[in-house]
Amino acid sequence: QATASDPNSLVLVCYGAGTKLTVASPRYAWNPFNHKWEWSTPQNTTQGFSSDVQIELYGDHGRIHLGKSLVPPIHSGGDNGWWDIENLSVSPTQITGTYRLNGMNKPRFSVDRRTGRIDVQAVTRFTGQCDQGDWAKGTPRF
C-alpha cells in the first residue's frame, strides 16, 4: 500500500460524475393511435451519477478503488473494492493504466498531472478532478 513517507508512492482521491446505460422497465402506457392501454417497449437510456475514484501508486505498480456507481453488476470482485492496475505508465505529465472488472470489461483511465483531471473510459464513462491524498503531513488544506 502507498504511504505518504514513501517517495515512490502517490495517493490520489478523485471526485466527479459520469453516465451509464440503463434499461427502462416495460410498463403499461396509453396508445393514442389504438385508443387503448398497451405494454411499452423497454428502452435503453443513459443515467447520470456522481462518484469517487481512489488511486494508489507504489513503485512500478498500483491499484484503483471505484465508487459503487462505477462497478458493474457482474464483476470479478476485486479485493475489497480495489482492482490491480495493469499497463501502468507514469510520466511527469500523465498517469495511465487499465484494470479488469470482468472478462469483457477492461476500462482505461488517464490522469493529467498538470490539471488533476481524470478520465475513465469504459461502458460507464467517468470524468473528475483529483487531489493528492497526503494526510501524513497533517497540514490543513483550508
Task: Report the predicted TM-score, pTM, of the whole model to 2 decimal places.
Answer: 0.75
**Across the strands, what pairs with 29?**
38
Q: To the nearest whole percent, how much of the chain has pLDDT over 90?
A: 44
What does the pLDDT look like over 43-62, one tens digit per residue?
777 778 889 999 999 988 99
Q: What is the pLDDT of residue 57?
A: 95
